[in-house]
Structure 1
Amino acid sequence: MTFPKNFLWGGATAANQIEGAYDVDGKGLSVTDITTAGSLNEPRYLTYKLNGKLEKTPAVPGAGLPEDAVGAIDPNSYYPNHVAIDFYHHYKEDIKMFSEMGFTTFRLSIAWTRIFPKGDEEKPNQAGLDFYRRVFEECKKYDIEPIVTISHYEDPLYLSEKYNDWQDRKMIDMYVKYATVLFKEYKGLVKYWLTFNEINTALLLLNSFGNADADDAAYQHAYQKLHYQFVASARAVKIAHELHRH
């Protein structure tokens, strides 16, 4: 048996895992930007300010920041994604190595806050749009087909705080606006889109960590989030199909 000629062979990443440059060229803060590193003995933490004081809370699935808290960077904490492998500045070398490894596809995600730093701006951040265009063009140079995830665990921090992590229907419109910009901007460069990464983890992680009962508010939060994300995904898919018919 052999793989078919058009088989897509490659690897997968997420923007928050590889890009670094978390505050470069107009990028806003995402929820992952306030998530520290963890270890065998220490959990990952979310860092925030409450009444002007820096605090932290374990980054437990289903749990968010305390009421009235505002996500903030702690200069004494280590945030792995702030630098990562600095793909933002080294994407050309990295994509070249992908080609040398025999990749015919590269699954990556777009950082929402590179395109809309807060999430509710009228116009997108041109520097962010230009960066991903360069990445996709570099992929095409090596005949690597990009598979692009629109949302991969890094909602804009501003929106997450304002709408309590997808607990408001207004998040749907914010997401759809963002996705529509991507579809139009990269038409002809990106053929394959994924709306949300592992959308089911909103529930799976709660079950895995055993930190909430079936009737707990955390489950209600997760189901509401999933409902709005499913609607947002369906609307984005419909728009993508309409745009790519022409």
Structure 2
Amino acid sequence: MSVEHEFPKDFWWGAATSGPQSEGRFHKAHRSVFDYWFDTEPQAFFDGVGPNVASNFYNDYRHDIALMKKVGLNSVRTSIQWTRLIKDFETGETDPDGVRFYNDVIDEFLQQGIRPILNLHHFDLPIELYERYGGWTSKHVVDLFALFAKRCFELFGDRVKDWVTFNEPMVVVEGEYLYEFHYPKLVDGKKACQVLYNLNLASAKAIQAFRETDCPKLGGRIGIVLNLTPAYPRSDSPEDIAAAKFAEDYKNNSFLDPAVHGTFTKSLVDQLEKDGVLWTSTPEELKIIKNNTVDFLGINYYQPFRAKKRETPFDESRGWLPEKHFENYEMPGRRMNPYRGWEIYPKAIYDIAINVRDKLGNIPWYISENGMGVEGEEKYRNKDGFIEDDYRIDFIKEHLGWLHKAMQEGSNCFGYHLWTPIDCWSWSNAYKNRYGLIALDLVTQQKTIKKSGYWMHDVIANHGF
């Protein structure tokens, strides 16, 4: 087969999932904020499906990892649940079953020839730490997270070489404190900005803990996974450009710049200070952020953001929101994924890659998530029983085409991970939209490779398509 888009031989071809979205709640020491939310408000979840069983990875991990191997994946990212691993949050005492489980999972990945990338936080804060301290508004919780991270490095750093502090920390800010799509569903711009700062500090403190262990000597490295929604202005008018600039600073640079450069974006700090919502920080904390930047970046890309200047007065009744400085612009003729309400714009993956090259020191990076969620995928199951998801293959091809172009132009990208290996539980959406290369039957828990999984196998075998 001739390969038009050829990728390096050591390229990471993989997929990403998370503990709370795949494992189920079996034998967990504690509840996360999502476990608690489901227990108290099950009707908030699509079809009333919660995280109790999820994709049953806790019981099925050997079989599931074998399926990932059959697809050809050479790397997989998942997460360690704070609520599963740690028995006592204050002392860092571990739960024996949690330690056993994650040791077994890591060993199974390695035995199957799959590189495990382990993330430490995937929206799954323990509910006790929210109830006791106010969750991520608390700097004590930041220190407890660093202790949890240290335990992970000590327990698993002999075999795991690639670590991630947070997945999509901006979603914690937006979902919990601005737009009410994650528990506790608050609208509090001042708290949101403090949480944004505290998450950056928590990431830096986890990196500091990592560098105090033997992990770096053993060839380990640590990064962060950020969801980037590049902000495009509606027009080249100064007002639209300024609106997009603030959106870019708040949504993307607020985590990118501290992670890579160790400093917060000056224009963002100045504006938040002017608005009266700037976080509280200390010189010591800022020094920790400055001295503990990432070794690599993971970038999740699904959709762009389009901004225009405010054309209607900002509603002050709910306090400060980022939208004080921009409005969302719906570009005429845009392509949409109707199931998610997200614009499909593959060229943004190229724009992100060039931005990493030119403005972030060409730091090593990879696409840590990209994918297409589709509702009612069962209707694409053919007579042989497998799902013909050609739309997913087309989506991946387009995005990989733009990524390949950016790599040809010198962007330092080392991998591409799809969301997700096996259809997984997705917060209040539960199993509404399916993303996997492998289908999950919720009733029987049977898992079958989709057409996209077989296609991906060939891409990996041929180092491209």
Q: Give the TM-score of the pair, scaled to structure 2.
A: 0.41
Q: Is 2:18 the counterpart of 1:14?
A: yes
Q: Is 2:78 the counterpart of 1:108?
A: yes
- Tell me the CA shift for residue 120 of structure 1: 2.6
Give 2:109's aligned amino acid: C
Structure 1 segments (4+ residues) deviating >3 Å: 56-59, 202-211
Residue by residue over 1:182-221, the C-alpha shift from the partner in whole angstroms, topping out at 9 and shown as x without a partner, is 011111211111111101123444898489xxxx961111
Superposed, which structure 2 residues align to 1:1-246 within 5 Å? 1-20=5-24, 22-24=25-27, 26-36=28-38, 47=40, 56=41, 78-117=48-87, 119-205=89-175, 209=179, 218-243=188-213, 244-246=215-217
Q: Tell me which of the two structures has the higher relative contact order, counting C-alpha pairs closer than 8 angstroms and 6 or more residues apart.
A: 1
Give 1:136's aligned amino acid: I
How far apart are the structure 2 equivalents of 1:233 and 1:93? Answer: 33
How far apart are the structure 2 equivalents of 1:182 and 1:89? Answer: 21
Contact 1:148 1:194 in 2 (8 A): yes
Residue by residue over 1:50-81, the C-alpha shift from the partner in whole angstroms, topping out at 9 and shown as x without a partner, is xxxxxx4997xxxxxxxxxxxxxxxxx94521
Range moving further from structure 2, 117-126 or 7-16? 117-126
How far apart are the structure 1 equivalents of 2:55 and 2:150? Answer: 29
Secondary structure class of the residue paired with 1:194: strand
Give 2:188's aligned amino acid: A
Alignment RMSD (CA, Å):
2.7
- Tell me the CA shift for residue 35 of structure 1: 2.9
Contact 1:172 1:231 in 2 (8 A): yes
Give 1:232's aligned amino acid: A
Residue by residue over 1:146-170, the C-alpha shift from the partner in whole angstroms, topping out at 9 and shown as x without a partner, is 1111010111111111111212211
| Cα distance change, pair 142–210 in 1 and its aligned pair in 2 (3 A) | closer
Residue by residue over 1:3-49, the C-alpha shift from the partner in whole angstroms, topping out at 9 and shown as x without a partner, is 111111111111111101x141x52111111233xxxxxxxxx72xx
| Cα distance change, pair 127–202 in 1 and its aligned pair in 2 (3 A) | closer
| Cα distance change, pair 32–226 in 1 and its aligned pair in 2 (3 A) | same
Give 2:33's aligned amino acid: V
- Tell me the CA shift for residue 242 of structure 1: 3.3
Secondary structure class of the residue paired with 2:77: strand
| Counterpart in the other structure of 1:67 | none
| Counterpart in the other structure of 1:74 | none
| Cα distance change, pair 119–78 in 1 and its aligned pair in 2 (3 A) | farther
Contact 1:29 1:118 in 2 (8 A): no
How far apart are the structure 2 equivalents of 1:208 and 1:115? Answer: 30
Residue by residue over 1:67-107, the C-alpha shift from the partner in whole angstroms, topping out at 9 and shown as x without a partner, is xxxxxxxxxx9452101111000100000000000000011
Secondary structure class of the residue paired with 1:106: strand
Secondary structure class of the residue paired with 1:200: helix
How far apart are the structure 2 equivalents of 1:217 and 1:86? Answer: 34
How far apart are the structure 2 equivalents of 1:207 and 1:163? Answer: 16
Percent sequence identity is 30
| Cα distance change, pair 122–196 in 1 and its aligned pair in 2 (3 A) | closer
How far apart are the structure 2 equivalents of 1:165 and 1:208? Answer: 15
How far apart are the structure 2 equivalents of 1:206 and 1:139? Answer: 33
Secondary structure class of the residue paired with 2:136: coil
Contact 2:173 2:192 in 1 (8 A): yes
Gapped runs of 5+ residues in structure 2? 218-465
Q: Give the TM-score of the pair, scaled to structure 1.
A: 0.76
The structure with the largest alpha-carbon Rg is 2
